[in-house]
Amino acid sequence: MAKKLWGTRFAKKTHVLTDKFTSSIVFDQRLAKFDILGSMAHVKMLGKQKIIPQKESQQIIKGLSSILKNVVSGKFKFDPSAEDIHSNIQELLTKKIGEAAEKLHTARSRNDQIALDIRMYLKSEIDDLTEFTTQLQKAILKFATSNFKVIIPGYTHLQIAQCVLLAHHLLAYIEGLERDKQRLLDAKKRIDAMPLGSCAFSGTGLNIDRDFVKKELGFATLTANSIDSVSDRDFIIEVLAGLSILSVHLSRIAEDLILWSTKEFNFIDIDFSFCTGSSIMPHKKNPDILELIRGSVGKIQGDLSSVLILMKGLPSSYNRDLQLDKPPLFDAIDTIKDILEIFTTLFGSIVIEKEAIASKVLDESLFSVDLVEYLIKKGVSYRKAHDIVGSMVRDCLDKGINISILSLSQLKKYSPYFNLEVKKILNAWASVNLKQSFGSTNPGLVKKQMVAWSRRLAKNCRR
């Protein structure tokens, strides 16, 4: 059994159930690297400030860096009986270098130590998450570029509506993902404050140099109130809120792809490598991966709720409840990273069913707004034009005919402004070409957006 950092004051040993219930080593071991780096900066400062002898400071740093090497290479064996990652490393250091190790925790508490560890961990995770998101955006952009000439029927209320470029639809995903990235980067600004030196919650009487530790660890600022530093986890809530919104976006992309891969839509084919079969129906090829992505939103929203409820009404300063912020945080980060990675690869394997899509955009009801705008350009009021096209569409549907087969005299019955040239706009390309507003599905404008995204994403990328 690992030695307790606070055991001496205790008249008797803690119950085995207490040990099991309070231990966080199973999950906080992932903070090991940051815990050690934080300790190294702290102890360097203690030496510089002559709070502990320089020699011992160096001895501790040497011991910590050899533990760090093992952690980074995956050789480190965590002690399952340790209370948490802090005590695990402290005990190991003591075993390694002896008495000097006992000075490491000078002017520090696990309360400010854990606040530091999570902030360091999150800064690094946000870099990964934004990088993964950029990779997905790039995969979507590549897919859009190679299918630039594909026009799909767009839907509102899941009812066929108007023609759009597939690329335009895909760029909508990229826009949303960009805002998700910016939300995380914005949260990172508030995470980038160094809490160490707040100690248990009131600071310390020892002559520490917090600014030095801040610089050593590459933080932008210092937390300015020791009670707030150990007390608040609003930055975790911010990250989880950002991840929740991101997961909503990812679930909607998944849903589009699920719909598009059905026989009824038949827009795309999802590669076998991202599908599963049925144990009873031999013909099935199910988009389970996409369904699990869609379903994961529930888990991530749950993680956010879990931390929000954990924090509600907690008395100020440190409370052990705060230990429970980590499992939901880690779960959300792991899940989102998995989804981003899967999506990035999956997008590279989607096959477009070009012929099936082309047959769908023959439906001339897709061009009703173009007909309305045709009349508006001739001077007809919007309301009147809507009525004229409405009655044309109704009559054609009743008779089961296309608008394009109407003769000139039949067209004129609806409006004297119609002439035969109107038939030229009753096709998918004409429809998208007619759009001209900024942000619309006009191919020239969409192309410009794609070029802009390609530049922007190349700059965003670390790889």
Q: How far is the CB of 33 from ligand ARG (least distance, A)?
A: 16
Q: If binding is defined by CB under 6 A, does position 89 make contact with ligand ARG? A: no
The identity of residue 430, as a single letter, is: A
Contact between residue 32 and residue 85 where contact means Cβ atoms under 8 Å apart = yes
Position 111 contacts ligand ARG (CB under 6 A): yes
69: helix, strand or coil: helix
Q: How far is the CB of 24 from ligand ARG (least distance, A)?
A: 5
| Residue of 65, 146, 202, 278 marked active site | 278
Of 84 and 303, the one with the shorter C-beta distance to ligand ARG is 84
Q: Specify which residues 163 forms β-bridges with.
A: 153
Per-residue three-class SS string for 217-270: CCCCEECCCHHHHHHCCHHHHHHHHHHHHHHHHHHHHHHHHHHHCCCCCCCEEC
Provide CB contacts within 8 A for 19, sequence distance 6+: 1, 81, 83
Of residues 34 and 267, the one with the C-beta less far from ligand ARG: 34
Nearer to ligand ARG, 114 or 150 (CB): 114
Residue 168 as a binder of ligand ARG (CB under 6 A): the answer is no
Q: Which of 114, 167, 208, 434 binds ligand ARG (CB under 6 A)?
A: 114
Active site residue 386: no
Instruction: Report in angstroms how near the CB of residue 203 gets to ligand ARG at its nearest.
Output: 16
Q: Segment 312-351, which members bind ligand ARG (CB under 6 A)? A: 318, 320, 322-323
Nearest distance, CB of residue 274 and ligand ARG, angstroms: 37
Are 197 and 224 a contacting pair, CB within 8 Å?
A: no
Among 84, 112, 125, 216, binds ligand ARG (CB under 6 A): 84
- Shortest CA distance to 339 belongs to which of 302, 306, 298, 307? 298
Quote the distance between the C-alpha of residue 155 and its chain's center: 26
For ligand ARG, the closer of residues 177 and 322 by Cβ is 322
Per-residue tokens: 212: 């030095």
24 binds ligand ARG (CB under 6 A): yes
Which listed range, 106-114, 209-217, 253-261, 401-409, lies at the site for ligand ARG (CB under 6 A)?
Answer: 106-114
Q: How far is the CB of 459 from ligand ARG (least distance, A)?
A: 37
Neighbours of 354 (CB within 10 A): 12
Identify the residue whose tokens are 């907690």.
314
Q: Is 119 in the site for ligand ARG (CB under 6 A)?
A: no
User: What pairs with residue 222 in β-bridges?
Assistant: 194
Show the binding pattern over residues 299-318: x = contacts ligand ARG (CB under 6 A), - = does not.
-------------------x
C-beta closer to ligand ARG: residue 91 or 256: 91
The amino acid at 323: Q
Q: Residue 335 contacts by C-beta under 8 Å, 6 or more apart in sequence?
A: 247, 296, 299, 300
Buried b (16+ CB within 10 A) or exposed e, 335-353: bbeebbebbbebbeebebb
CA angle 117, 118, 123 (to 5 degrees): 105
Q: Is 249 a catalytic residue?
A: no
Of residues 24 and 441, the one with the C-beta less far from ligand ARG: 24
List active site positions: 157, 278
Which positions lie near ligand ARG, rule CB under 6 A?
24, 28, 84, 110-111, 114, 318, 320, 322-323
